[in-house]
Amino acid sequence: MPNLLVNIDHVGTLRNARQETFPDPVHAAALCEQAGAHGIVFHLREDRRHITERDVHLLADTVKGKLDFELSTDEEVVAICCDVAPDLATLVPERREEVTTEGGLDVTAHQQRLEDRVDRLFGAGIEQVSLFVDPIPAQIDAAAAVGANCVELHTGDFAEADTERARREEAERLAQGARTAHEAGLRVHAGHGLNYRNFSLFQETVPHVAEVSVGFAVMARAILGGLGQAVRDMNATVNGPLS
């Protein structure tokens, strides 16, 4: 069964929308862990639209489980990540005009830059460095070539598929990507758009997944049902029996 890491970025989005001090993503992270999450994910964007440097340092000090720092290859953000030295650093593509991360890294087109960033992150004592990639064998092989020891498979196309046939086709693509990564010696993570309804198909189809990152679905449910219950529900979904 994969471990569940909860992304708390959207708590920061809500706080920053009113330029308030609450709700605090650091408090939300603690509630997620109390409810059974195995760790916390956050993305320090270049424009600081949700998570701030204050959040980063407090999360590093208070999260008890695994801490996943998502980041672009921006020099300043890489330096902050190296200083914090989380358990996991996940390099992701980033465009200021996007609402959320759209698609995986083009590793084959940016190998030299990514190799430099991967080397620096490992040099800072970070034990796991992952690249967020689409389930494309060439991109996965390139991730191994630049020195990453993990990949996070982008599950957005699977989550957004609008027919059962399309969902199953995307699940099979993810399964092939997971097998490719596993054969290359990479630890397999997955995330983007996974939720309470689509996870069972993902889990029964995609092998070798050690960890999943879920954020929006948990936070959306938390608005109506409470954050603790939302995390318990997602944890049961991730770790429950196959349907």
Domain boundaries, the chain: 3-239
Q: Which residues are catalytic?
A: 43, 70, 192
Give the residue from 81, 137, 151, 72 showing the smallest Cα distance to 110: 72
Give the pTM. Answer: 0.91
The amino acid present at 18, given as its one-letter code, is R
Per-residue pLDDT reduced to its tens digit, 119-174? 999 999 999 999 999 999 999 999 999 999 999 999 999 999 999 999 999 999 99
Neighbours of 21 (CB within 10 A): 7
Residue-wise pLDDT for 199-232, tens only, equals 999 999 999 999 999 999 999 999 888 888 889 9
Separation of alpha carbons 148 and 193, rounded Å:
23
> What confidence tens digit (pLDDT) does each residue in 20-59 have?
999 999 999 999 999 999 999 999 999 999 999 999 999 9
User: Is the CATH code 3.40.50.720 the one for domain 3-239?
Assistant: no
Whole-angstrom distance, CA of residue 10 vs CA of residue 215: 8
Q: What is the pLDDT of residue 96?
A: 55
Q: What pLDDT sits at residue 100?
A: 54
Cα–Cα distance measured from residue 107 to residue 104, given in angstroms and rounded to the nearest whole number:
9
